[in-house]
Amino acid sequence: MYSRMVLSRGYEERLAAAYMEGKTPLFNMANGPLPGEMHLSNGQEPCAVGVCAHLGADDVITATHRPHHIAIAKGVDLQAMTAEIFGKKAGLSGGRGGHMHIFDPKVNFACSGIIAQGMGPAAGAALARKLRGEPGVAVAFIGEGAANQGAFHEVMNIAALWKLPFVCVIEDNAWGVSVAKSQSTAVARNDVRAAAYGIPGVYVPGNDPYAIYAAAGEAIARARAGGGPTLIEIETWRLAGHFMGDVEGYRPAGEKEALFARDPIPAMRQRMIAEKTATAEDVVALEAEAKATLDEVFNFARAAAEPQPEEALEKVFV
Amino acid sequence: MAEPARRDNRRKRKLTIAKAISEAIAQEMERDSGVFVMGEDIAKLGGVFGNTQGLLDKFGPERVRDTPISETGFISMAVGAAAVGMRPLVELMFVDFFGVCMDAIYNLAAKQAYFSGGHVKCPMVLMTSVGGGYSDAGQHSQCLYGTFAHLPGMKVVIPSNAYDAKGLMTAAIRDDNPVIFMMHKNLQGMGWLGTAPGAIVDVPEDAYEVPLGKADIARPGKDITVVGLGATVHQALDAAETLAKDGIEAEVIDLRSLVPLDREAVLKSVRKTGRLLVVDDDYHSFGVSGEIIATVAEAGITLKSPPKRLAYPDIPIPFARPMEQFALPNAGKVATLIRQMFQE
């Protein structure tokens, strides 16, 4: 779990640096090697690793517009994903999707740019597994803002009604772009909404990978055993803006500093060393390994060929 | 590949579109365990328009699933099931209801193949009913052909008779892409709503495909090309029958599908006749009629008279019978317009 968190953080640091190339001194989203919107997930890594530690390649995940940490935790092909984010032909979809549309069917990972859109596809995959009598669960990751979408309610109801092997994981980073959860949501915690569907609801405070691992393990085991869905809300924090270029004027003074002081990665490192589940040397080795992987991945993506423009006309139908 | 129906098994057996559709689905469910059906009132009731009659008894509640009134939920679930290898059919009871679930259709189902570089397929069929003329007002009577056909990534099919309905449905279920299958209520063959007699035709018992994207010449003629789809094919055929008595031989083209669109069939016909009329009960502007006329214009075919369209005016569909009938196309209006075209 720790190594994936470190990999994800390092990955996004490099993405962020590449994203800013060609965007200074005047920020223009259309410029540079990584154009378009860029939604970083740094700070939210515990949600991804704590859940995905219980999943295999056959298990299905749908993620959000902020997908990198979950993709990395799920084991998406990192070279092809990075090439996709750079808009290269060797990308997962040949450059058609970019960072909000990452599909890796080998590990059953998909994400989308529409809030709560992944709810249905995950529950549908869970239904398919059930109809086929195949093992495998499906997990939909959504943000706290997505719990106010109709799709969330519709799919939670059906998944509970049909006892699907499905888990909905809400990453509550407290902000829907600039609107605070307290200003958008009638309940303080979304796990209480599970009562509306007659299923277990769990709230995991503190952005704690250990607690997330425990809660997800219980929910996923229940889903695998035919016990139906669970709704988990995880308190997490977004250390970046909604997208790169967001000046975050909506945050109260001091909030960012306080969040950085509670960065989950150093916290986990300290705990591992304190509990002697890893040594300082282990940690250094893990970090070096992540760096080597990232060197390889980013070199590949940068060197990869651009798609031919006319390839835009292909793959509308299969 | 299309499988021609075996002649020796083609005994006289007239079916409604509803019965032809349910037969096609049942045969594909027998053939492929990945085919299943979800929607509102599709199990016990057999579908409000009868498309799934008898399926619950044959295949049971696991594969024939009544859903809550949650169109976004079950349509997007179909996409997820299709992504992992199933072949779901879902029913959106009236096309007018697309407003509550269009994201699942045009942003999710229609873009899955493209955004995955073709690595994740979306073999699903979305059945829906279209059309008015029976005073159901403007939230239960629209066609919206052009709306769906305008958005890339989904095939759009509109059968005009039971033979085509079965073959097109079989092809749609076997297709690896999302298919919007639009059935016109005036052709469906429900006990509670009148049906154009021409829609109820002989249907082979064997499974067969009518390929998507191939128009049908419903009636050959040399003087004018009349392009229609769904219910307007029958209006055009009735008008052609009347006009034949006056010596005008209209060729009626049934588009059968809008995506793919058989532009070549239209061009070939218009090159022969030199005249074009499009009849469409969808809204007049920015739709099917404009697209067909543009196709002919771009081909540079010299016409003997300006091309015309008879479409539903750009107004919501009213309830009162005189107002709705005033707005809808019908065979009489088609014949009148064609006569005018010959006087120009």
Q: Which DSSP string do the residues of A31-63 spell out, in sequence order? A: -SSS-S-----TT-HHHHHHHHTT--TTSEEEE
List, for residues B276-290, the tens digit of each pLDDT value.
Answer: 999 999 999 999 999
Please answer yes or no on whether A60 and B152 come within 8 Å at the CB atom.
no
Mean pLDDT of chain A: 96
Confidence of residue B4 (pLDDT cuts 50, 70, 90): low
d(C-alpha B255, C-alpha B20), whole Å: 19
Residue A317 is assigned to a structural domain of this protein: no
Average pLDDT estimate for A215-225: 98
**Predicted local confidence at residue B12, as pLDDT:** 64
Average pLDDT estimate for B255-282: 98
**Which chain B residues contact residue A121 at CB under 8 A?**
76-77, 79-80, 83, 108
Average pLDDT estimate for A191-200: 98
Q: Which DSSP string do the residues of B205-221 spell out, in sequence order? A: SS---PPTT--EEEE--
Q: Which residues of B are catalytic?
A: 140
Given CB atoms, is B61 within the 8 Å cutoff of chain A?
no
- Measure CB to CB from residue B118 to each of A110, A127, A318 and give the nearest one: A318
Alpha helices in A133-279 (DSSP H): 150-161, 181-184, 209-224, 255-261, 264-274
- Measure CB to CB from residue B80 to each of A93, A121, A314 and give the nearest one: A121
Nearest chain A CA: its distance from B163 CA (Å): 26
Residue A190 is assigned to a structural domain of this protein: yes
Confidence of residue B192 (pLDDT cuts 50, 70, 90): confident
- DSSP for residue A65: S
**Predicted local confidence at residue B191, as pLDDT:** 84
Please answer yes or no on whether B77 and A60 come within 8 Å at the CB atom.
no
Residue A202 is assigned to a structural domain of this protein: yes
Residue A318 is assigned to a structural domain of this protein: no
**Predicted local confidence at residue B141, as pLDDT:** 97
List, for residues B193-234, the tens digit of each pLDDT value.
Answer: 999 999 999 999 999 999 999 999 999 999 999 999 999 999
Nearest chain B CA: its distance from A308 CA (Å): 14
- Best residue in B59, B87, B97, B116 for a mutation probing chain A (most A CBs within 10 Å): B116
Is residue B6 predicted with pLDDT exceeding 60? no
Is residue B68 predicted with pLDDT exceeding 90? yes
Nearest chain A CA: its distance from B142 CA (Å): 24
Alpha helices in B104-188 (DSSP H): 112-115, 145-150, 162-174
Residue A38 is assigned to a structural domain of this protein: yes
Report the residue of chain B nearest A311, measured CA to CA: B117
**Which chain A residues contact residue B117 at CB under 8 A?**
91-94, 96-97, 103, 315
Q: Which DSSP string do the residues of A108-124 spell out, in sequence order? A: TEEE-SSTTTTHHHHHH
Report the residue of chain A nearest B178, measured CA to CA: A317
Confidence of residue B344 (pLDDT cuts 50, 70, 90): confident
List, for residues A102-136, the tens digit of each pLDDT value.
Answer: 999 999 999 999 999 999 999 999 999 999 999 99
The tokens 């409000």 sit on which residue? B48
Range 154-183 of A in CB contact (< 8 A) with B: 154-155, 157-158, 161-162
List, for residues B243-257, the tens digit of each pLDDT value.
Answer: 999 999 999 999 999
The tokens 């010299």 sit on which residue? B302
Q: What is the residue type of B185? A: K
Is residue B7 predicted with pLDDT exceeding 50? no
Give the structural domain span for A299.
2-304
Backbone angles phi and psi of A205, in degrees to 5: -85, 165
- DSSP for residue A297: H
Given CB atoms, is A1 within the 8 Å cutoff of chain B?
no
Given CB atoms, is B70 within the 8 Å cutoff of chain A?
yes
Which domains can be identified in chain B, with CATH numbers?
Answer: 12-202 (3.40.50.970), 216-343 (3.40.50.920)
Residue A109 is assigned to a structural domain of this protein: yes
Residue of B240, B202, B241, B171 whose CA lies nearest to B24: B171
**Which chain A residues contact residue B177 at CB under 8 A?**
317-318
**Predicted local confidence at residue B1, as pLDDT:** 43
Q: Is the ipTM, as predicted for this complex, more than 0.85?
A: yes
- Measure CB to CB from residue B76 to each of A92, A124, A317 and give the nearest one: A124
Is residue A267 predicted with pLDDT exceeding 50? yes
**Predicted local confidence at residue B11, as pLDDT:** 62
Q: What is the CATH number of the domain that holds A57?
A: 3.40.50.970
Domain count across chain A: 1
Residue A299 is assigned to a structural domain of this protein: yes
Mean pLDDT of chain B: 96
In the three-class reduction of DSSP (H, G, I as helix; E, B as strand; rest coil), residue B128 is classed as strand
Residue A313 is assigned to a structural domain of this protein: no
